[in-house]
Amino acid sequence: MATTKIQAATQTAKRSFSAGSVISAIGRWIVRNRIYLIAFAIPAVLTYLAYALFGLYPFGEESVLCLDLNGQYVYYFEALRDAFWGDGSIFYNWSRNLSGEFMGIIGYYLASPFTLIVMLLPEKFMLSSLLIMQLCKLGAAGATFNYFLQKRRGVQPYPSLLFSTMYAMMAYGVIQLIDPMWLDGLVFLPLIMLGIEYLVDDGRRLNFIIPLALMCVANFYIGYMICFFVILYFLFYLCFGSDKKRKGYDYFTAFVRIAYSSVIALACAAFMLLPVYNALKLGKFEFTDPDYSFRFQSFPLSKKLLENAQDSPLLVFLCDLLDMFPQLLPAQYDSVNVQGKPEIYCGLLTLVLLPLFYLNKKVNRKKKIGYSLLIAVMVMCMLITPIDMMWHGGQVPNWLPFRYAFLLSFVFLTMAATAFANRDGIEKKHLIGSAVIMAVIIAIVAGLKFDQMAKGAVWISAALMGIYLILLYFMLGGKITQGKRGVSVALTTMMLIMVGGEATYNAVDSMKDIDKEVAYSTRASYQNYVQNGRAATQMLEEKDDGFYRAEKTFFRCVNDNAAFGLKGISHSSSVMNTRAINFIETLGYCMHSYYTRYDGNTEIADSLLGIKYVLDRGESGDQNRRLNPAYEARWAYDYTNENGTAKTITAYENTNALSIGYMVDEDVQKIDHLGNDNPFNSQNIFMSTMSGQTTFDENGQFQSWHEYYTPLNLAENPIVSDAITTSPYGEQTKYDVTGDGDPTVDFHLVAESNEPIYIYFKTEFQKKVNLWMSTWNDSEWSEAENGWKESNSGDFTWKDADEYAKNNGGFQSMGEYFEGDNYIALRLGTFEPGTKITLRMTIANEEKFTIVKNFLFYTYHPDVFQEDIDILKQNQWQIDTKKSNDRKLTGTITAEEGQIMMTSIPDQPGWTVKVDGKKVDQVAIVDAMIGVPLSAGEHTVTMTYTPPGWWIGMGTLAGGIILIVLFWFGDRKRYAAMLAEIEAEKEREQQQAKKRVKLKSGTKDKANDDSPEKLLEKLEALHQQGILDDKEFAAKKAEIEKKKKADGKQT
């Protein structure tokens, strides 16, 4: 018993000791790294303070959601979080454009290590998670830059906080809070540049390889830009920045070392880079047709001062340079739209110190030249449009231009920190030069009256510049600060307070300006909407746990499905599958270059694509056109919206929706692709051929097919108002507003049956119009005619009926068309046979014109559709949900002779198809969807998706890790040797210093060293040993000889 107690006591003591050791170790670590922790905390706290002053919840109603973070990224985070916790796949996602790879989106938007914050916190705290992630990124940027400055620029710990704060809260960092995936560039850039300097100076490679690999994984886009900058910075540091003397061979080895180190870093990141590259090949690379002709940027001043900028490129260049001046000041937010200027502001203290960098006597001329060249290159890259495009992957950014501007801010801040660290090389008179340059900048910005500057910002900047100059004056030495550490700390503290206040002022101003331009979203508008949308989707899955697609008729943003967990077609992303979204457009849905949305749906398209359920809120407005009246209400979810109003989401079922895969006639392979000129004709040909109702002539051309839509002829030619002039525009017609009155075009129809009527206006140049509709049955027509004849005489025409309807409120708005999400196959409705219909098109855009190729009017025949959809429903893929997940589908299907398995899964690399356990080749149907050839009989079909390049990337990652481990041993030896050399050098310097002190103090060996001859011998020995340089030797020798002569005279 006693032994047991002793053992228990011993174990308790060990546990206590162990816990105490851990706590003690943590405490020592915190103390040792306290400056880096403070460098992290200051920008994080100040940014949160700026958010609070702006009105972020709980200090107001706003959220962090703005622009693409509001419309895209937050939904991607929701989808990734679901996949992280097992409800989905990181490889493949079904919420986007019928479905598609997900690794491209992750690598483009979500691969940052800071994303783990969002993954680990509860979903209901999504907005708070994003806020914490943003603050941590800016904080980490401050810490890494602080580390860089202390290790490589000799900045003392406490003053280094000045520059790390300005770095983390530079204009780029604050503005790109709305695109947080790019903030990783600020975090990793100092570490990568640190690695380059180590690699050049002493050959260490891991400090470069590891952060570069992490950057390329975190965000390939900014990683791509930093790789460009790596080349520039390497050349700069090798030729100008390094103090180490080297021979020609050393330059060669440095090039070789940076080359293979970069390859290894990219190899380690290939598991992310290759899937992203393959995803971009699906459409992003062809997204625009870039113009690489030489030209300078056209900033506001250029436009204002030049009538024809192309005729005066030099003047454009000079104006562009002047337009950059306000970008150096706080509260100068310009725009996040394509016309915006580079956001390079990084603190007024930085600006004040830049002239002092060039005047500093302790900064050698070589570095000054090198930094000047680096700045010149970066500025020219920004001002020359084709080069700027290359920085952005060969394309002009759609929004948020100059996405690499933080690189120039990094250079500015590094120069400023270098000048500050070597301020003993600055004379007080140099401050006058800096003050003059600051005055010139203020005069230019104030004189040209840039609209972007906040009220009073110029004079606030001038005042802050003056304060910084005064504080620097006292810091440069003198009786006030000499030997008084407390005074130096107080001055630095005052400067840090000013820097923090200035950064917060700029951040708040930027947030307010961004809110004016693109608007922050309120917290309630997202939180309530998404929570209830997810709950409605969960209800749907509980009622039907099969594998199917579902959509909805209401939208907050086009990417709602990703947050709800719906498998649909609505999605927006820069990582698009062009063939898939073009196919969706051919069926009449809304499509705009990089996104599709569930507008323009038809029963045929929904059924062929497997859209089994549609969620609807029962509201009036545009969404009532999205809910097909043929669908049947099934279940309802009741909730209260953010305004406290009771709402209901009802799930409607499309009973004709097909499975994700089904058997179709093999003749479907004869359709090369579907055209986008006429969605009704495309649907006719596609479904008729799939159901075996299409015949072909001997040349393989279409001969006959079932028509589910038939053209509805106009009752008379369109009536164009006198306010419009028409003219040919290639194969289209242009409608220009040239006169007074309503610019209208009226189309007159007569319903031939009670079947639905659809319209589609084809254009190659979308300019907004408004649509209005008025209808009359026989009695209403007679009533209108009698009313008209009360004040008119003659025959009552359709034009008269339109005028009467307009004057008596007879036109119903059908919304906008062409622009926005309204360029679709539009259902007008069902009407009694003989109903007269006027559809009025009104030109409603600032340019006062629209261009149309064709006006299409069709009647839809549900009975013909039902006959053929029943054929397709006979042999469907019965997916086994227990054996399937988001990247693997397996199930059985029965094929007949002359059939091929058609899926509504977009065709893209990465799919492996097995039939009865044997791998088979897939085919592309209509150049968009996956098809699987099957022999007659029942088969088990399994489809598995793996991102192209994934396994190659994992292999190169493994190889890279092995090399990193080997390099670690080599770098460790190289580092140990370097440390030993440094210690030896320090020891030599200490010994030499002691000898100098002894010599200069006049200390002598009274016994042996009194004679001038002995002193001269010792002096000669010290000179030969290198302890005394030539100047010191000559001075001491002259002093001894002078004394010797004086003694001789006395004798």
Three state DSSP letters for 310-374: HHCHHHHHHHHHHHHHHHHCCCCCCCCCCCCCCCCCCCHHHHHHHHHHHHCCCCCHHHHHHHHHH
d(CA 83, CA 209): 30
Q: Domain of 1009?
A: 1004-1051
Residues 465 and 531 in one domain: no
Handedness of CA 133, 134, 137, 138 (dihedral sign): negative
Strands 719-720 and 100-101 turn out to be: unpaired
Residues 360 and 478 in one domain: yes
Residues 609 and 646 in one domain: yes
Q: Is residue 560 situated within a structural domain?
A: yes
Q: pTM of this prediction?
A: 0.89
Cα angle vertex 252, ends 250, 258, to 5°? 100
Residues 17 and 41 in one domain: no
Q: Is residue 693 situated within a structural domain?
A: no
Q: Is residue 767 situated within a structural domain?
A: yes
- At residue 299, the pLDDT reads 85
d(CA 44, CA 36): 13
d(CA 178, CA 188): 19
Contact by Cβ (8 Å): 840, 745: yes
- With CA atoms as reference, report the closest residue to 603 among 860, 814, 822: 860
Residues 111 and 173 in one domain: yes
Q: Is residue 414 situated within a structural domain?
A: yes
Residues 216 and 270 in one domain: yes
Q: How many domains does the chain have?
A: 6
Strands 611-616 and 549-552 turn out to be: parallel
Terminal C-alpha separation, the chain: 99
Residues 825 and 915 in one domain: no
- Between the CA of residue 749 and those of 15, 512, 718, 787, 862, what are the distances in Å? 88, 51, 10, 22, 20
Residues 585 and 570 in one domain: yes
Handedness of CA 591, 597, 600, 604 (dihedral sign): positive
Residues 40 and 109 in one domain: yes
- At residue 267, the pLDDT reads 97
DSSP 54-117: HTBTTSSSEEEEEHHIIIIIHHHHHHHHHHHTTSS-SSEESSSTT-EESHHHIIIII--TTHHH
Residues 22 and 88 in one domain: no
Tokens 């200035």: give the residue.
502
CATH number, domain containing residue 841? 2.60.120
Q: Of 455, 486, 518, which residue is a domain's last?
A: 518
Q: Is residue 818 situated within a structural domain?
A: yes
Residues 880 and 841 in one domain: no
Q: Is residue 1024 situated within a structural domain?
A: yes
Q: Is residue 966 situated within a structural domain?
A: no
Q: Is residue 964 situated within a structural domain?
A: no
- At residue 307, the pLDDT reads 57
Q: Which two tokens stand for residue 609?
A: 């694509």
Contact by Cβ (8 Å): 678, 854: yes
Kindly give the parts of the chain with pLDDT less than 70: 1-17, 287-288, 305-311, 478-484, 620-625, 974-986, 988-989, 992-1011, 1021-1032, 1044, 1046-1051
Tokens 């041993």: give the residue.
969
Q: Of 792, 825, 860, which residue is a domain's last?
A: 860
d(CA 710, CA 99): 31
- At residue 1005, the pLDDT reads 47
Residues 1027 and 880 in one domain: no
Q: Of 657, 686, 720, which residue is a domain's last?
A: 657
Contact by Cβ (8 Å): 487, 449: no
